[in-house]
Amino acid sequence: MNNFLTYKNYSAKIEFSEEDDCFIGHLYGIDDIVGFHASSVAKLKEAFYEAVDDYLQTCNKADKTPQKSFSGDLTISLTPDVHANIASIASSHNQSINQWASNVLQKEAVA
């Protein structure tokens, strides 16, 4: 199950509120607070697109640079021996380095 929506390089984390009987979303990965809600998935997507467009327009009118959401790409530098060890471990799990590292980092980041 995917709890994120993406539009114009912005992502939103989605939750369901039983109390309010609606979906609630917030832009993810920026400090500015941008939220939206709706009672159906179709309306939620529409509200999300409107929230992103409104955020960008508001920043433009205020002559403020909109914050950028994280892209999901991460570049790191390693020593050659660490790189080789990671390649070996990933291979032993039948995964690419990217798949293996993503799984390991995701487990650590959510823990």
The proportion of the chain whose per-residue pLDDT surpasses 90, expressed as a percent, equals 68
> Is residue 25 predicted with pLDDT exceeding 90?
yes
Lowest model confidence (mean pLDDT) among 2-11, 33-42, 46-55: 2-11
C-beta of residue 15 within 8 angstroms of C-beta of residue 23: yes
pLDDT band at 29 (very low <50, low <70, confident <90, very high): confident
What letters, b where the CB count within 10 A reaches 16 and e where it falls short, cover 14-26? Answer: beeeeeeeebbbb
What angle separates helix 97-110 from helix 80-92, to the nearest 10 degrees? 90
Average pLDDT value over all residues in the chain: 90
Check residue 73 and give its pLDDT.
79
> Is residue 67 predicted with pLDDT exceeding 60?
yes
pLDDT band at 111 (very low <50, low <70, confident <90, very high): low
